Structure 1
Amino acid sequence: MSDQLQQADGISPKPWQEFFTDLARALRFYSRLPVPVLPWEADPHTLPDFGRIIRVLPLAGLVLGILPALAFAAALGLGLGPWLAAILSVAAATVTTGAFHEDGLADTADSFGGSTRERRLAIMKDSLIGSFGACALVLDLALRIAALATLAERVELSAAMGAILLTAALSRVAGLVPLVFLPPARPDGAAQAVGRLGRESFWLAAALAAGFALLLGLAAGLPAAGIAAMVLAAALAGIALAGLAKRHIQGQTGDIAGAAQQVAEIAALIGLLIALRP
């Protein structure tokens, strides 16, 4: 048992306590939500053990999709229209995560403009945003907003909210693909601290995410073909980002994982829209 999961009195936590500890740490890492310290946590603000929290990541993703889904529903309920509802939903998602993934996308886009591997890694580490990063952010926000606005015009509100929740879960699992299948690109980055994730744990998380997508998607009123398209598109996006990372920097970083999550989110929504085409 990990020392980080020991209770203050030295008694090993129960399985349900371990589950909620992993969920709390996943939410703290991936968001700015005020997750309370659990009574049995010895060191709640330490870097989470990704080998453990990967199993709860699909559920954490669903939780992170709640505020964007509620913002979307509230805006439509107030008669603000699909476009303003989509903007408010994306704004809620960005505030929830503190633009965590968007920052990774911008850094990744800037780095791919470098001429050598070393130069690309240096650009990625730079906190400044260049022209590639700025364009990537604009396109990212535009595509997500447009996809949600179009979705609102094609499905019932419950189905749209379900799609937002499922996209949040699927995209975060897809964002792990580079971390699982590529080595860290540099010895001093966050990806090195995380380490290379186990493939068995990843496949378990992927299966759970797909299962959530099927069950919750059908319950929300999404067609099976649309759910399948979301799962496939998110997976392909994660694979594509891993391929780009391998080609450009021969490895992965935390920024690559963030970029993979954003691209997977867009891909999942577009995949669903293709399946729902009029």
Structure 2
Amino acid sequence: MRLLVRELACFFAAVRFFTRLPVPAWVGHSAELLDAAPRYFPAVGLVVGGIGAAVFWLAALVWPQPVAVLLSMAATLYATGAFHEDGLSDMADGFGGGWTRERILEIMKDSRVGSYGVTALILALAGKATLLSLLPAAWVPAALVAGHAVSRFCSGALMALLDYVRGDGAAGGNGASKARPVAARMSPAALALAGLFAAAGLGLWCLLAPPLPLLPALALALLATAWLVRLMRRNLGGYTGDCLGAVQQASELAFYLGLLARWPAV
């Protein structure tokens, strides 16, 4: 029972860090909870995707599918506080405008959004809205749950592959407290647990939609992740918190693209 309560606290710590959703008052603040939060990253994706799916299902009863998709996206953006979208824009600005490792990190720390960041956000949001609007309406709720869970697993896997890069350009696990949950390598056991939650999202898709579209969806999500990992290794020698957000956004978009690949709208 004590272990169950501890793991539940770790899950709520992840919810508190990665979203703006309320958590029970008994969940405290500690370094241990923050360190354990990333293994529940895909579980948070199940929650956020579930919110989007519920809003889509209700909105689709009243409005056309594109409107329902936009409302579901607005709900997930509100739930997360655009946490990952901010990372995407920062990484796009840094990698687009920086020529050295130090300059990339400097740009990514800047709170201002540049042209690369704005363009990346527009493409990501418009891309997700377009792809979800083209999917059969009955598939969209499952696509949202699976896409949010799988993309967060891809993002968390980054922590098992690369070292965290601090703002001063050094690699290591002693970053600022804001970035603490992303500063340590994820263990194989933690990654396996995260994979179980991602698999739960895929299982829901298999219950509500044909399983075959998952093959190109997973392939494209992994391809997008691998491409970004290559960029980070070459340009930074590791990752930052913004990089995690960028991977989540890119792999989510790629996942939806794959779902539509074999069954385009006609």
TM-score by length of 2: 0.88
Of structures 1 and 2, the one with the larger relative CO (CA 8 A, separation 6+) is 2
1:265-276 aligned at under 5 Å gives the runs 265-276=252-263
Residue 118 of structure 1 corresponds to 102
1:47–1:162 Cα change, 3 Å: farther
Residue identity in the other structure for 2:246: A
Residue identity in the other structure for 2:15: L
The question of whether the paired residues in 1 share the 8 Å contact of 2:65 and 2:137 is answered with: no
Say if 2:13 is the partner of 1:25: yes
1:214–1:68 Cα change, 3 Å: closer
Say if 2:92 is the partner of 1:89: no
1:70-219 aligned at under 5 Å gives the runs 70-78=54-62, 80-112=63-95, 113-151=97-135, 154-156=136-138, 159-186=139-166, 187=170, 188-189=175-176, 191=179, 194-205=182-193, 207-219=195-207
Percent identity, aligned pairs only, is 36
Q: In structure 2, how many angstroms separate the alpha carbons of the residues matched to 1:165 and 1:47?
A: 29
The question of whether the paired residues in 2 share the 8 Å contact of 1:110 and 1:130 is answered with: yes
1:137–1:49 Cα change, 3 Å: same
1:277 counterpart SS class: coil
TM-score by length of 1: 0.84
Q: In structure 2, how many angstroms separate the alpha carbons of the residues matched to 1:238 and 1:15?
A: 33
Count of matched residue positions in the alignment of Structure 1 and Structure 2:
256
1:230–1:206 Cα change, 3 Å: farther
- How far 1:85 moved relative to its partner? 1.2
The question of whether the paired residues in 2 share the 8 Å contact of 1:104 and 1:259 is answered with: yes
**Cα RMSD (Å):** 2.1
Q: In structure 1, how many angstroms separate the alpha carbons of the residues matched to 2:217 and 2:182?
A: 28
Larger radius of gyration: 1
1:160–1:232 Cα change, 3 Å: same
Residue 4 of structure 1 corresponds to none
1:254–1:55 Cα change, 3 Å: closer
